[in-house]
Amino acid sequence: MAGLAFLLKARGFRVSGCDLSVNRLADWLAGHGIGVTSGHSAEHLAHGVDWVVRSAAVPLECEELRAASGSGIPVFARGQVLPCLLAGHRSIAVSGTHGKTTTCTFIAQLLKASGRDVSWCIGGECPELGAVAGAGREPGSPLVVEADESDGTVALYHPQVAVVTNVEFDHMEHFESREAFESCFRRFIGNSEKVIFCGEDPGVSAMARGLANVVSYGLSEHCDLRGRELRATASALELTLEQSGRALGRVKIPVAGEHNALNALGAAAAAFEMGLDFAEIAGGLGRLSLPRRRFERVAEGGGILVISDYAHHPSEIAALVRTAARLDAGRLVALFQPHRFTRTRALGPGFPAAFEGVQQLILAPVYAASETQINGGSSWDLYEQFRRRAGVGMEVLAAGSLAEAWGYLKGDLRAGDVFMIVGAGDVEQVAAWANDFLVSTVPARAGGTDLAADVPLSPASTVRVDEPLGEKTTLRAGGRADVWAEIATEQDLRALLAWTHDRGERCHIVGAGSNLLVSDLGVGGVVGRLAGREFLGLREEDDMVVAGAGVAVAGLLRRLHDRGREGLEFLHGIPGTLGGALRMNAGAWNDAVGNHVSWIRCLNPDGSECIVDGPSLGFGYRACRALETRVAVEAGLRVVAGDRERIREKLAAIEERRRWMKGLRCAGSVFRNPQGDAAGRLIERAGLKGLAVGDASVSPQHGNVIVTRDGARASDVLALIEKVRGEVASQFGVELELEIELLGRR
């Protein structure tokens, strides 16, 4: 849109613009007399607007566009206007599924380097060209444009020279079939005086077959313009140009990637068509540079190289990984943000092979690009594709957000790594985070090292960094805590809370981990457990039993039985500590612990003490408001004197009913029961018992229980949770909420 606005202004139109979120191109436009305002409003039409041009990203229902149509102001798509600007120019339009921006900038660079007066409008930025668009001085000078196929408007261009890099099905959000997608390329080819196409690509080769006005380029013998004896290194290409079987000479191109050899050949073929000679082309090729986010080296430090790339289609990713493999890297690490739910669903099975060669891959949530989520199109579905392919030889982890992914990566990246930021959405912002990190920090293996050294605990407590947490939970899956503390005394607990509070760090006190799922990407800040004797006490006070929050529920029931105290038998078989049971208001058989709690002595997040009692405890369904941010230290429990034999019988009966759960690797109920129904029943009715992702599956015995086996990752469980949620929502219209707690970096 910015390029088009610029060209219209250069032709003498009065141009203004607006955008939902104004980006940095607005400053460039302002410098050329084009004001851009934030947000869409009918008021923008108040000052004598003759026509409106919209990007396909702005829906027709938007207020401003509706107002325009209502007042009879014509509204055009970008792709309808740009083709009109070709008239009167020697025009080159570049299209194709992959590589069109690069090829387009290469052509403009070659023409510019030869001293030609050139205009251009390209969907990407290239430092060498200085801007997304430029206007030549002479009317009718060559105009190079990138013709976008995503909304089908590529079919509207009638250029003198068309360049088609390849045709591979994409943009499922717009095209209902492969045939519809291909037909707009056929029309583009049919509209053009001359067609330059990549002879290596089967898609466009089939379309060009039998046409007289075509020139092919590639590395194979059958191509009209051919690159021979290609030598590719990690930073450059070298090849011999051959035209119709005649060697022209050897050229060096200072960009990486065999796919860019094809892009450069396409550009050279277009340049020949525009009348440049071999010397001019060889000179220009020798100075080519890639557009932004094309294998862009965005940061380097501590032996880590960060590359940002726009690749979002499996073929583009495969080309990127092949190029990166030429670097002498210890590990190839990638953060991938899939682009659009439609593409993720349609091309999902192709992504695992594309990433082959990468050792560590983090999948970020899909960048929606204005789409709404569809079943089968989320990053969890994509994660499942990777898990299905045994032997890919890479570790794949799924992140809940870009921030979580980066929180993990900054502790994991190490000297020798090449870290690739991959995708067409806002994943690009991670480049800035990586740059800040690499210039300001010497990366250490464990993100929490500094933190651990200062944690103010007495020698009686234990502090460890980079501690695996998975084995501390009943699901036995998940990543590490930056810092882990086993807290021996209440004094230490107070000091720890005060210290983390002052530093703005998180301090998460867990119990036995029987209601937790720890993210594979680990947990930031401090994770702690009440481990000392001070938290394990049990004493009688009046008609009450006061128990420490670190006491195991099983041990508490045993001790109560021994003392002939009755009332909490319903907790039998629920694993965990009293602290966890209070926080979750654990319950079964129509009773819950909250019904028996008189008061809880707790510590506030700043380490100060408080006692909460009565309604302020806020017990609800698997919830305790008083403990949302506080840590329980001990609680007064109302239990009555009872007959030991009756207590034993009650425990034995419950034991029998819970027998099926014994030894299961699970976290109890995964979802909360929706109002008036049971999550397990809905899941069973949806036919999801036994459903599996990786090494996690829905229990065949109970629909609301997910079980894991050796090798399971937290991402397996999360992907399964999303699948179950999606199915139950689409079959019954019920949105299941989680009962288990997710512990991650946030």
Ligand X SMILES: Cc1cc2nc3c(=O)[nH]c(=O)nc-3n(C[C@H](O)[C@H](O)[C@H](O)COP(=O)(O)OP(=O)(O)OC[C@H]3O[C@@H](n4cnc5c(N)ncnc54)[C@H](O)[C@@H]3O)c2cc1C
Binding site for ligand X (CB under 6 A): 474, 508-516, 530, 549, 574-577, 579-581, 583-584, 586-588, 627, 631-632, 661, 664, 666-668, 741
Which one, 397 or 509, has the nearer CB to ligand X?
509
Which one, 121 or 603, has the nearer CB to ligand X?
603
Q: DSSP character for 367?
A: B
Nearest CA to 361 out of 371, 369, 370, 351 is that of 351
Which one, 241 or 527, has the nearer CB to ligand X?
527
Which one, 516 or 637, has the nearer CB to ligand X?
516
- Cβ 454 to ligand X shortest distance, Å: 23
- Cβ 598 to ligand X shortest distance, Å: 17
- Cβ 529 to ligand X shortest distance, Å: 8
The pair of three-digit structure tokens given for residue 635, joined into one six-digit string: 């609680």
Q: DSSP character for 215?
A: E
The pair of three-digit structure tokens given for residue 221, joined into one six-digit string: 């013998």
Nearest CA to 11 out of 84, 80, 111 is that of 84
Which one, 259 or 583, has the nearer CB to ligand X?
583
**240: number of Cβ within 10 Å:** 15
Alpha-carbon dihedral sign for residues 404, 406, 407, 412: positive
φ/ψ region of 157 (left if φ > 0, alpha if ψ in -120 to 50, else beta) reads beta
8 Å CB contact between 604 and 630: yes
CA distance 571 to 573: 6
Which one, 348 or 576, has the nearer CB to ligand X?
576
CA distance 370 to 372: 7
Which one, 266 or 580, has the nearer CB to ligand X?
580
β pairing state of 640-641 and 565-566: antiparallel
- Cβ 717 to ligand X shortest distance, Å: 13
Which one, 341 or 599, has the nearer CB to ligand X?
599
Which one, 34 or 581, has the nearer CB to ligand X?
581
Which one, 83 or 513, has the nearer CB to ligand X?
513
- Cβ 653 to ligand X shortest distance, Å: 15
Nearest CA to 405 out of 369, 435, 361, 445 is that of 361
CA distance 171 to 156: 17
What values do phi and psi take at 694, rounded to 5?
Answer: 55, -125
Which one, 629 or 675, has the nearer CB to ligand X?
629
Q: Residues near 190 by Cβ (< 8 Å), separated by ≥ 6?
A: none
The pair of three-digit structure tokens given for residue 358, joined into one six-digit string: 């990468």
- Cβ 514 to ligand X shortest distance, Å: 3
8 Å CB contact between 501 and 606: yes
Cα 581 to its chain centre, rounded Å, is 34
Report the 3 state secondary structure along 84-136: HHHCCCCEEEEECCCCHHHHHHHHHHHHHHCCCCCEEECCCCCCCCCCCEECC
- Cβ 448 to ligand X shortest distance, Å: 19
- Cβ 521 to ligand X shortest distance, Å: 18
- Cβ 629 to ligand X shortest distance, Å: 9
Q: Residues near 410 by Cβ (< 8 Å), separated by ≥ 6?
A: 433, 434, 437, 441, 443, 447
Which one, 358 or 593, has the nearer CB to ligand X?
593
Which one, 63 or 737, has the nearer CB to ligand X?
737
Say how many Å lie between the first and final Cα of the chain, rounded. Answer: 35
Which one, 36 or 627, has the nearer CB to ligand X?
627
Q: What is the DSSP string of 659-712?
A: GGGTT--S-SBSBPPPTTS-HHHHHHHTT-TT-EETTEEE-SS-TTBEEE-TT-
Beta bridge partners, 218, equal 226
8 Å CB contact between 160 and 185: no
Which one, 133 or 631, has the nearer CB to ligand X?
631
- Cβ 200 to ligand X shortest distance, Å: 56
- Cβ 714 to ligand X shortest distance, Å: 14
- Cβ 301 to ligand X shortest distance, Å: 36
Which one, 631 or 736, has the nearer CB to ligand X?
631
- Cβ 298 to ligand X shortest distance, Å: 38
- Cβ 319 to ligand X shortest distance, Å: 45
Nearest CA to 70 out of 61, 59, 78, 79 is that of 61
- Cβ 589 to ligand X shortest distance, Å: 9
CA distance 377 to 372: 10
- Cβ 545 to ligand X shortest distance, Å: 17
Residue whose pair of structure tokens reads 């251009």 in the numeric block = 120
The pair of three-digit structure tokens given for residue 557, joined into one six-digit string: 């029931």
CA distance 517 to 470: 8
Q: Residues near 623 by Cβ (< 8 Å), separated by ≥ 6?
A: 584, 585
- Cβ 561 to ligand X shortest distance, Å: 19
Which one, 121 or 705, has the nearer CB to ligand X?
705
Q: What is the DSSP string of 569-600?
A: GGGTT--SBHHHHHHHT-EETTEEGGGGEEEE
Burial of 142 (0-12, 13-18, 19+ CB in 10 A): buried
Could you give the maximum distance between any two Cα atoms of the chain, in Å?
103
